[in-house]
Amino acid sequence: VSMQTGRDIWTTISTSFLVSARIGGIAAIVAIIIGIVLGSVAALTRNRWPDRLIVFFSTIATSMPSFVLATILLYVFCIQLGWISVWSTSNQNYILPVISLALYPMAYITRLTKTSMLDALGQDYIRTARAKGVSGLKVIFKHGLRNALIPVVTYVGPMIAFILTGSLVVENIFTIGGLGAKFITAITNRDYPLIMATTLFLAIIMVIANLLTDIAYKLIDPRIKLD
């Protein structure tokens, strides 16, 4: 039982986790899909203007912490332009938190995908497939991209666990009652039972994410054995 509210701890955690998971799930999907697409485009247009533009964008995005981006977005779109209400409870209120959470991992996945794709497309089996007359798209997506996804999956697993459990700072900036915000409040109020239960819950989520990552390795490359 929480020392501050008197509520059951696991009820508090499950309720706040659903809020974080909703925003984090959308952010993770956006980051993964756009990151892989941009990374693939950058690899296929190496040293041309699309590649340079994507690399420039990803460099800027990876150098900006999520809490800085969240503060800028809040100031511009909520305070200056007034397009989004700070106190709104509609789906529109999730736009800025999703962008804040998704931008950094999206940029990192973009750079990781590009590097992995360039390495995969330079392998002997790619040249052999092209020499046998396999179509370009099939070579790129079936052989190149599939093998390039292994390093991406290594990063995506823990990233999803982090995003789903809520960003400690971003949720506080946008006043979202997610798991991250609850954790900060528990620390501030010295609510030790809630702190310990939340820490245990976060550890379980991370273990599950790592397990799913190992399973994903096997699905992407059957040659990998799970011992």
Model pLDDT for residues 156-168, shown as the tens digit of each residue: 888 887 777 657 7
Q: Which of left, alpha, beta for 135 (phi over 0: left; psi -120 to 50: alpha)?
A: beta
- Ordered by start, the domain boundaries in the chain are 9-220
Residue 34 in this model has a pLDDT that exceeds 90: yes
Give the domain 9-220 fold: MetI-like fold (1.10.3720)
Q: At residue 45, what is the residue type?
A: T
Residue 211: per-residue pLDDT? 86
For 76-108, write each residue's pLDDT tens digit.
888 888 777 665 556 667 788 889 889 999 999
> Could you give phi then psi for residue 102, rounded to 5 degrees?
-90, -25
| Range of weakest confidence among 47-51, 131-135, 148-152 | 131-135
Mean pLDDT of 120-145: 75
pLDDT at 212 over 70: yes
pLDDT band at 45 (very low <50, low <70, confident <90, very high): confident
For residues 29-48, average pLDDT: 90
pLDDT band at 31 (very low <50, low <70, confident <90, very high): very high
The rounded distance, in Å, linking the Cα atoms of 203 and 44 is 39
